[in-house]
């Protein structure tokens, strides 16, 4: 039987590239061939972080197209990124597909595009070339449903056509029985100082393409978001998307990382007592001002507990003079899934990005939530108020989370028997979806079966 080819296209950010690479690895395990498309900028970063590919990874072909930005442009400026993607990438993607298919035999040509929902415009490219598409959400099903239902919210007078709030209610409900969403957690109200209008125009373009396919997939599970998935059954959960490290050398770095993983933290964790370490990581976007960075560092010192802190290479903050860090280890980037599965981890001080949320929940780790922007605000509320497996942090009158608040909440979440018990019960439920007869596994098989037919 010929091996079908799938083109996988993530939005150009770490939190999107990694889960779509794991999905690609799952497709390869099920007999597919993958053409994985990064931007040229991210492709160079990812390849530089890779060791020699394992044999099974040879079925994932890494290719790239330009993102339209200059080399020194700020790729964390979502407004700028949103603007140039639509003017540059659709044409570049079409050209790449044509060239790839010319080099392949008929039966091995690209038959399906799996596009990140934030790259939904790619389905239009597929339609033009006669290639079917599927959508994948690396964020929660709740965010998928919210984006899909923007026209409905406008129709019912909840938001305006420019996505501004028309309602004075503190919560909205997309459907009876579905969890109410605090209007303050709507992702477009939490994008900071960037030009939100440009981002929303881009997302509207992506959302208009949603109905070009019946194949909607999401990195979640029925147990995590039952009401959303009942409300919008078209979304098929295929989570948790985790790597299987059982047959992989401990020194192997994960494909899909845009920063090189520092594996020395694993041997350091081996030396720490069971359930003693505070793991601190805020993803690829979070930035602190100097005063807040100081408070975080000194708050970790005050706990007098071992901590593993991920401080990215692009961090411009200086450590405060009083910071000792004697019980901690600081790395630029870590193998997060491996870290969270380590028995030494006591809790996760997190920005609540959906990948981090899934990885923490899948390892039964309690959360201390410190969201930065976008959907992370909603994720924090869901973790703390719906799942009850974490706590949030409170700011002082100056809008700063103090070292004393950090110390107090870390002690509370680490010592709470109730939170840990709920975390472990939820872990068991979620992980059952990875088994052969789990619902997520069955949904992934649907995608593979459809492709092979």
Convert the pLDDT of each residue in 241-283 to its tens digit: 998 765 555 556 778 898 999 999 999 999 999 999 999 999 9
DSSP class of residue 191 equals S
CB within 8 A of 225, min separation 6: which ones? 140, 141, 142, 237
Nearest to 365 by CA among 392, 380, 333, 343: 343
Q: How many CA atoms lie within 13 A of 451 on its CB side?
A: 30
> If you average pLDDT over residues 291-318, what whole number do you get?
96
Poorest-pLDDT segment among 114-118, 137-141, 250-254? 250-254
Decide: helix, strand or coil at residue 80: helix
- The band of 88, judged by pLDDT with boundaries at 50, 70 and 90, is very high
Domains of the chain in sequence order: 5-243+433-452 (3.40.50.2000), 264-415 (3.40.50.2000)
217-233 in b/e form (b: 16+ CB < 10 A) is bbbbbbbbbebbbebbe
User: Does the pLDDT value for residue 300 go beyond 80?
Assistant: yes
Contact assessment for residue 204 and residue 121, using Cβ atoms and an 8 Å cutoff: no
CB atoms within 10 A of CB 177: 10
- The band of 124, judged by pLDDT with boundaries at 50, 70 and 90, is very high
CB atoms within 10 A of CB 156: 12
Residue 251's pLDDT is what? 58
DSSP 325-361: -TTEEEESS--HHHHHTSTTEEEEEE---HHHHHHHH
CB atoms within 10 A of CB 58: 10
- The band of 346, judged by pLDDT with boundaries at 50, 70 and 90, is very high
Contact assessment for residue 80 and residue 69, using Cβ atoms and an 8 Å cutoff: yes
- The band of 433, judged by pLDDT with boundaries at 50, 70 and 90, is confident
Residue 59's pLDDT is what? 83
Residue 436's pLDDT is what? 62
Residue 254's pLDDT is what? 78
What are the φ and ψ backbone dihedral angles of 11, each rounded to 5 degrees? -65, 145
Mean pLDDT, all residues of the chain: 91
Q: Could you tell me the sign of the dihedral formed by the alpha carbons of 320, 393, 363, 288, in that order?
A: negative
User: Does the pLDDT value for residue 10 go beyond 80?
Assistant: yes
pTM attached to this predicted model: 0.93
Contact assessment for residue 314 and residue 42, using Cβ atoms and an 8 Å cutoff: no
- The band of 450, judged by pLDDT with boundaries at 50, 70 and 90, is confident
Reading the block at residue 197, the tokens are 């209008």
User: Does the pLDDT value for residue 57 go beyond 80?
Assistant: no
Poorest-pLDDT segment among 4-8, 100-104, 250-254? 250-254
Poorest-pLDDT segment among 127-141, 154-168, 357-371? 154-168
> If you average pLDDT over residues 357-361, what whole number do you get?
97
User: Does the pLDDT value for residue 440 go beyond 80?
Assistant: yes
Poorest-pLDDT segment among 127-141, 150-164, 380-394? 150-164
Decide: helix, strand or coil at residue 157: coil
Pairing between strand 277-281 and 345-350?
parallel
Poorest-pLDDT segment among 299-308, 348-357, 428-437? 428-437
CB within 8 A of 328, min separation 6: which ones? 300, 306, 307, 308, 309
Give the integer Cα–Cα distance in Å for 252 and 241.
18
CB atoms within 10 A of CB 420: 19
Convert the pLDDT of each residue in 153-189 to its tens digit: 888 888 888 888 988 889 998 888 788 899 999 999 8
Cβ-based burial of 212 (10 A; exposed 0-12, middle 13-18, buried ≥19): middle
Residue 95's pLDDT is what? 96
Cα–Cα distances (Å) from 132 to 100, 110, 122, 136, 217, in that order, read 16, 10, 10, 14, 15
User: Does the pLDDT value for residue 310 go beyond 80?
Assistant: yes
Residue 116's pLDDT is what? 97
What are the φ and ψ backbone dihedral angles of 121, each rounded to 5 degrees? -55, -25
Look at the block and give the residue holding tokens 């090189």: 260
Convert the pLDDT of each residue in 35-56 to its tens digit: 999 999 999 999 988 865 444 4
> If you average pLDDT over residues 395-406, what whole number do you get?
96
Contact assessment for residue 433 and residue 239, using Cβ atoms and an 8 Å cutoff: yes
Reading the block at residue 183, the tokens are 């209007």
């Amino acid at each position: 039987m010929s091996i079908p080819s799938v083109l996988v296209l993530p939005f150009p950010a770490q939190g999107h590239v990694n889960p779509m690479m794991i999905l690609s690895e799952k497709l390869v395990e099920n007999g597919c061939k993958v053409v994985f498309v990064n931007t040229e900028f991210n492709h160079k970063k990812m390849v530089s972080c890779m060791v020699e590919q394992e044999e099974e990874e040879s079925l994932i072909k890494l290719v790239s197209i330009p993102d339209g930005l200059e080399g020194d442009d700020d790729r964390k400026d979502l407004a700028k990124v949103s603007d140039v993607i639509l003017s540059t990438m659709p044409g570049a993607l079409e050209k790449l597909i044509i060239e790839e298919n010319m080099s392949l035999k008929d039966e091995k040509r690209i038959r399906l595009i799996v596009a990140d929902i934030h790259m939904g415009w790619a389905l239009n490219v597929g339609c033009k070339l006669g290639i079917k598409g599927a959508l994948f959400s690396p964020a929660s099903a709740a965010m998928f449903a919210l984006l899909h239902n923007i026209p409905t919210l406008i129709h019912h007078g909840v938001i305006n056509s420019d996505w501004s709030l028309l309602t004075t209610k503190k919560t909205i409900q997309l459907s009876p029985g579905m969890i109410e969403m605090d209007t303050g957690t709507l992702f477009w109200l939490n994008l900071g100082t960037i030009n939100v209008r440009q981002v929303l125009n881009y997302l509207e373009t992506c959302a208009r393409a949603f109905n070009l396919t019946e194949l909607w997939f999401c990195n979640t599970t029925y147990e995590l978001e039952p009401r959303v998935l009942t409300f919008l059954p078209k979304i098929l959960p295929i989570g948790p998307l985790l790597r299987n490290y059982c047959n992989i050398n401990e020194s192997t770095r994960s494909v899909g990382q845009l920063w090189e993983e520092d594996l020395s933290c694993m041997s350091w964790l081996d030396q720490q007592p069971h359930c003693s370490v505070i793991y601190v990581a805020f993803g690829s976007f979070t930035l602190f001002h100097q005063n807040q960075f100081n408070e975080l560092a000194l708050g970790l010192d005050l706990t007098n507990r071992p901590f593993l802190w991920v401080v990215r290479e692009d961090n411009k903050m200086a450590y405060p003079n009083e910071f000792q860090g004697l019980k901690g280890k600081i790395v630029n980037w870590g193998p997060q899934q491996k870290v969270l599965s380590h028995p030494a981890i006591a809790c996760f001080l997190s920005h609540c990005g959906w990948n981090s949320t899934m990885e923490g929940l899948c390892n039964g780790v309690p959360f201390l939530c410190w969201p930065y922007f976008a959907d992370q605000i909603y994720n924090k509320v869901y973790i703390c108020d719906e799942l009850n497996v974490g706590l949030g942090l409170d700011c002082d009158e100056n809008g700063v989370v103090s070292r004393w608040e950090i110390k107090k909440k870390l002690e509370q979440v680490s010592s709470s028997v109730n939170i840990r018990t709920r975390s472990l019960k939820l872990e068991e439920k979620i992980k059952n979806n990875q088994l052969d007869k789990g619902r997520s596994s069955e949904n992934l098989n649907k995608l593979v079966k459809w492709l092979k037919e």
